[in-house]
Chain A
Amino acid sequence: MKFRCERDTLAEAVATAQRTVASRSGALPVLQDLRITAGDQGLELVGSDLEITNRVHVPAQVEEPGVAVVPKLLGEIVRRLDPGPVTVSVAGDEAVVTAGRFTTSLRLKPAEDYPRLAPNEGQGVRVDAAAFAGALRQVVRAASKDDLRPILTGVLLTSHAGGLRLVATDSYRLAVRDLKGVSMLPEGQRVLVAAKGLTEVQRLAGDGEIEVVLRERDVVFRTSRAEVTARLIEGEFPNYEQLIPSGYPNRLVVARDALLEALDRVQIVGQNRDNAAVRLAMSATGLELSMSAQDVGSAQESLDAKYEGTELTVAFNPVFLRDGVDAIEGPEVLLETVDPLKPATLRAADGSDFLYLLMPVRTS
């Protein structure tokens, strides 16, 4: 195999593909590398941990077609080269990378050891890339990163009221986003997609449209920059609808950016502390945020806010609260509460397509 490719093009492609190579010990060693296929259409670079696969196609001048499994070290090498063409030549178990007056040789693992990945064939439905990526930005953050609860590491995609609904929860918070008019799934169908894969889709969404191909065991997202294949998670997603309270006696409306900035300032005293909680004291005079940590100190900040309801103080995990506020699009945030121990809801004061349900934390 021998090809020539522009440094910037190759560096970006390698960076994208290597984000999904296996990093865990115990995985097939060959999965820690990239598979590069050179053919008539240029190059295909694949990085996969068998759960998420990034597949990138880039133009290249292919002198000799072939397949090789190249160490991801290639990315660091290419990134440090001067702009210009890079030549990669593979012979036996060695790849020689040449650019200008630089040359290096890399030992290769046998290409035949790389697992066979299902080809990304099939036609899918097209969705607006920016809208879908925006919805993922809001929802994926609520998915769990705990592999011991695999169902919660996924994002539920389900048809809802003629559109698409995305739902994620880690049991402490729940994010629900409706994309009206997006018919990605047949009515009644629901699939659970690994959140890690959707993070890649969000990152690679780009402009235009994303083509979504739903298959038996995985789903392929074809973006303008790469194809992301994410496995489907089997299992029953929690019945999230019953978790959302039907009504709230207390409503607080506060400026989103001001709240985010205040949270950033106040939570400094509790950084890196388990069980740190930010208290929100809500009354007719506005909102007061406070946080304290033994042996560190305390911080308070008051904000102008409109409040309807009884005076109430509720404490939240500051990171989860900030995530929720940050996910909201719009100038004002509506925080609805019942009492200090029941779930509260965050949403845009002027919108209803996104909801972030958050459990308070108990304080002594």
Chain B
Amino acid sequence: MRLLVATCAVEYQGRLGARLAPATRLILFKADGSIAVHSDSKAYKPLNWMNPPCVIEDTGDEIVARTPKGETLRIELHDVVLDTTVPLGDDPGLEKDGVEAELQQLLAARVQALREDLTLVRREYPTDIGPVDLLCCDGEGRTVVVEVKRVGEIAGVEQLLRYQERLDRDPRFAPTTGMLVAPVIKPQARVFAQSRGVTCVEIDLDALRGGPDPALTLF
């Protein structure tokens, strides 16, 4: 993360034109390739920003970010107060129930995104030890127990194994197979899952949310 505090003027050209008169502002360059211009007021939102993919050129006097769509963010640096870079490392992610719930809902609508031959039997299938996120059936009629997590960790694999153990007692479902699904699955969890015969699937949340726009247009 690069933090640049400078007196600067900003001009955006793209979907609309916007200009910020010279003032002292904080410019953030994040490792994900984004750039954002903040002021000391107006809450948490940047005054202007550009998301990746964008190309950022820094000539010392001027920073220019361009997107493939032709949007341009031009920052004219007048006086640099601070310019420092701090590596923040990997973020463990925000533990938020809503995200898992959304993931589960999105996957329930498109279980084929996990494996083509899957069909959904039921979402939130109740067991004595809690509800299974997604109970599915594969192309050969076998039951697949799917546990959805925001980050795949060993605890998630253990939880899935407990559900499988419970469902395997029911002759309608036995023998089950397990599938741990998350946008990111930690290596330790992957190794543990593999040793217990659990499949790990990493999914792209953005693709799942939007996917390709199904509504094609004429122009």
State the A residues within 8 Å of B (CB).
169, 171-174, 238, 243, 275, 277, 294, 317, 341, 343, 357, 359-364
Question: Known contacts being A294-B108, A294-B109, A364-B110, is A317 close to B215, with CB within 8 Å?
Answer: yes
- Interface set of B (CB-CB < 8 Å, partner A): 108-110, 112-113, 120, 211-219
Give B108 Cβ to nearest chain A Cβ, in Å: 7
In the complex, what residue of chain A is closest to B216 when comparing beta carbons?
A: A359
Additional 4 contacts, C-beta under 8 A, given A172-B217, A362-B212: A172-B218, A294-B120, A362-B214, A364-B112
Chain B residue at smallest Cβ distance from A174: B218
A sample of 30 inter-chain contacts (CB < 8 A) reads A171-B217, A171-B218, A171-B219, A172-B215, A172-B217, A172-B218, A173-B218, A174-B218, A238-B218, A243-B218, A243-B219, A275-B214, A275-B215, A277-B214, A294-B108, A294-B109, A294-B120, A341-B216, A343-B218, A357-B218, A359-B215, A359-B218, A361-B214, A361-B215, A362-B212, A362-B215, A362-B216, A363-B214, A364-B112, A364-B113
Q: Which residues of B contact A363 (CB under 8 A)?
A: 214
Q: Is the interface of A mostly helix, strand, loop or mixed?
A: loop
| Min C-beta distance of B209 to chain A, whole Å | 13
User: CB-CB < 8 A to B212: which residues of A?
Assistant: 362
Nearest B residue to A242, CB-CB = B219
User: B214 and A238: CB pair below 8 A?
Assistant: no
Q: How many Å lie between the Cα of A363 and that of B109 in the bound state? A: 13
Once the chains are docked, how many angstroms separate the CA of A52 from the CA of B213? Answer: 34
Output the least CB separation between B167 and chain A (Å). 22
| B218 contacts across to A, CB distance below 8 A | 169, 171-174, 238, 243, 343, 357, 359
Q: Are A361 and B216 in contact (CB under 8 A)?
A: yes
Q: Looking at the assembled complex, report how far the CB atom of B79 sits from the nearest CB atom of chain A, in whole angstroms.
A: 40
Chain B residues with Cβ under 8 A from A173's Cβ?
218
Query: Which of A172, A173, A364 has the most chain B CB atoms inside 10 A of its CB?
Result: A364
Closest to A342 in B: B216
Residues of B near A238 (CB, < 8 A) are 218-219
Q: Which residues of B contact A172 (CB under 8 A)?
A: 215-218
Q: Across the interface, which residues of A come within 8 angstroms of B211, CB to CB? A: 364
Please name all residues of chain A whose beta carbon is closer than 8 Å to the beta carbon of B113 when the two chains form the complex.
364
Cα A174 to Cα B109 with chains together (Å): 31
Min CB–CB distance A151 → chain B (angstroms): 11
A360 touches B216 (CB 8 A): yes
- Residue in B closest to A315 when the chains form the complex, CB atoms: B214
CB distance from B212 to the nearest CB of A (A): 6
* Contact partners of A171 in chain B: CB under 8 A: 217-219
Chain B positions within 8 Å of A341 at CB level? 216
Residues of B within 8 A of A343 (CB): 218
In the bound complex, CA of A97 to CA of B219 (Å): 54
Chain A residue at smallest Cβ distance from B217:
A171
Output the nearest chain B residue to A358 by Cβ-Cβ distance: B218
Would you give the shortest CB distance from B109 to chain A, in whole angstroms?
A: 5
Residue of B nearest to A276 (CB): B214
